[in-house]
Amino acid sequence: MLKEIRYEYYESVDSTNDRIKARARDGEMQGLVISAGQQTAGKGRIGRKWESPSHESIATSLLLQPAEIDIEAVPTVTVIAAMAVRDAISRLYGIDGLIKWPNDIVFDGKKICGILTEMEMKEGKVWYVVVGIGVNVHNRNFPEDIAFKATSVDLELEKHQDKNGQKLGHRSELTKAIWESFKKYYNIFIETQDMTGLKEEYERYLANRGNRVRIEAQDNSYQATAKGIDNHGALIVDVDGEERIINTGEVSVRGIYGYV
Ligand code: BT5
């Protein structure tokens, strides 16, 4: 169970995930959050890079030091973190994103958030888990290679100015709201170590549900229809009438006509 959350903030770090890992190895306990104004080596999944320019975005990581999470349940933590970010943005700003399975939140087909969950084992058990979340907040310009598929809280709020006035995102307020939402979802998840109590809400916001998608694995790529998720948070797809389960890992799911 996740109870108290303790916040630390640094102007600049290599990666907030790596800072949490170092602290976990030094014996730090569950509930520590490290956030940074800037990351010099922000990481995406499988060696990809995460852009976190100075004071424009949120880079924040939480330590779960859980003898309480089974190894099979670790990927589900990413799925509930996505729910938490979606929920926090919706509660604070009244704008509703969708979840692009497994780890992105998207608005109008553009990515506003990425999540990287990492873990370390000790004596055959999960020793600790780090949940790292990056959210674009004040970003207005992105590097050329991601400009077509990235957005930020401020850019999305601007689109709804009639409803919100001149409202802008606020990094520390949003960071706290995200981890409060995460705590709520995590404590539901940990009771069963699966999505039993959360699946319905997740599927409500699942981008591409019922649509054709392209599954891009390392050595092959094929089309399927996205159906929903199973109790572990894996994606259920239909391939020519046959159901297949797609686990997180080295797989990307794309829409047929673009990124989402
Ligand atoms: C992710 O990977 O989306 C996981 C990102 C996790 C970042 C957080 S920040 C706090 C913590 N500390 C870290 O070092 N990491 C975590 P993936 O699904 O592999 O997506 C990476 C891809 O997203 C890149 O290859 C780019 O195409 C794109 N990308 C990079 N920066 C982006 C940004 N700021 N906004 C939108 N897209 C971006």
**Range from 2-16, 44-58, 166-180, 237-251 carrying the lowest mean pLDDT:** 237-251
Question: For residue 43, how far is its CA from the centre of ligand 1 (angstroms)?
Answer: 6
Mean pLDDT, the chain, integer: 92
Which two three-digit tokens encode residue 203? 């599927």
pLDDT of 249: 63
Which pLDDT band, with edges at 50, 70 and 90, does 84 fall under? very high
Specify the ligand 1 atom closest to the Cα of 17.
Answer: 12
- DSSP per-residue letters across 183-203: HHHHHHHHHHTSSTTTHHHHH
Name the DSSP letter for residue 234.
P
Is a pLDDT exceeding 60 seen at residue 9? yes
pLDDT of 256: 61
pLDDT of 114: 95
Spatial distance between the Cα atoms of 32 and 154, rounded to a whole number of angstroms = 28
Q: Are 111 and 103 spatial neighbours (Cβ–Cβ below 8 Å)?
A: no
* Helix locations, 106-244, DSSP H: 153-159, 161-164, 171-192, 199-204
For residues 239-248, average pLDDT: 90
Which pLDDT band, with edges at 50, 70 and 90, does 257 fall under? low
Q: Tokens 């060696």 appear where?
A: 47
Q: Are 68 and 74 spatial neighbours (Cβ–Cβ below 8 Å)?
A: no
Question: For residue 232, how far is its CA from the centre of ligand 1 (angstroms)?
Answer: 23
Assign 65 to helix, strand or coil: coil
Q: Which amino acid is at 11?
A: E
pLDDT of 166: 73
Specify the ligand 1 atom closest to the Cα of 39.
Answer: 14
Which two three-digit tokens encode residue 244? 């297949």
pLDDT digits (tens, 9 = 90+) for 148-157: 999 999 999 9
Structural domains of the chain sorted by starting position, each given as residue range(s) with its CATH number in brackets: 6-203 (3.30.930.10), 207-255 (2.30.30.100)
Percent of the chain with pLDDT over 90: 82
Spatial distance between the Cα atoms of 7 and 2, rounded to a whole number of angstroms = 14
Smallest CA-to-CA distance from 114 within 104, 100, 122, 128 is with 104
105 strand-pairing partners: 99, 113
Q: Provide residues with CB under 6 Å of ligand 1.
A: 15-17, 39, 42-45, 48-52, 59-61, 103-104, 111, 114-116, 132-134, 136, 146, 150
Spatial distance between the Cα atoms of 109 and 260, rounded to a whole number of angstroms = 5
Is a pLDDT exceeding 90 seen at residue 67? no
Question: For residue 84, how far is its CA from the centre of ligand 1 (angstroms)?
Answer: 17
Is a pLDDT exceeding 80 seen at residue 258? no
pLDDT digits (tens, 9 = 90+) for 168-194: 999 999 999 999 999 999 999 999 999
